[in-house]
Amino acid sequence: MAIKVFVLGNAERPGVRKAAEELLPFIREHCDVCMFDLLQEQDLGKVQADLALVFGGDGAILRAARQMGYHQTPVLGINLGKLGFLADLRPDEVRAHLPQVARGAYRVTRHLMFECVVETPGETRTFLGLNEVTFKSGPPFHLIDLDLAVDGEPVSRFSGDGLIVSTPVGSTAHSLSAGGPVLGQELAAFVITPICPHTLTYRPVVDSADKVYTVTVRSDTSDPVLIIDGQESMPVTPENRVTVRRAPVAFQLVKVPGHTYYQTLRDKLRWGTLPNYRVDS
Query: What are the pLDDT digits (tens) for 193-224?
Result: 999 988 888 899 999 999 999 999 987 777 89
Instruction: Give CA separation, 130 vs 105, 112, 120, 163, 185, in Å.
Output: 26, 7, 23, 17, 11
Task: List, by residue number, the catalytic residues.
Answer: 58
pLDDT tens-digit series, residues 98-152: 999 999 999 999 999 999 999 998 899 999 999 999 999 888 788 899 999 999 9
State how far the Cα of 224 lies from the Cα of 58, in Å rounded to an integer: 26
Residues 6 or more apart from 194 whose CB is under 8 A from it? 158, 160, 162, 163, 164, 178, 202, 204
Q: Whole-angstrom Cα distance, residue 182 to residue 192?
A: 12
CB-hemisphere CA count at 13 Å for 8? 30
Give CB contacts under 8 A, 24+ apart, made by 79-84. 80/9, 80/13, 80/15, 80/16, 80/19, 80/55, 80/56, 81/13, 81/56, 81/57, 82/57, 83/57, 83/58, 83/268, 84/57, 84/58, 84/268
The pLDDT tens digits of the residues spanning 62-89 come to: 999 999 999 999 999 999 877 677 888 8
- Sign for the CA dihedral angle at 268, 246, 111, 94 comes to negative
Share of the chain above pLDDT 90, in %: 68
Cβ neighbours of 228 (radius 10 Å): 22
- The reported pTM is 0.90
CB 269 within 8 A of CB 263: no
**Alpha helix segments (H runs only) across the chain:** 16-30, 58-68, 94-102, 174-177, 261-269
Alpha-carbon dihedral sign for residues 87, 89, 95, 96: negative
pLDDT at residue 277, as a whole number: 66
Task: For each of the domains in the chain, give its residue range(s) and CATH number, in order of start.
Answer: 3-106+256-269 (3.40.50.10330), 113-248 (2.60.200.30)
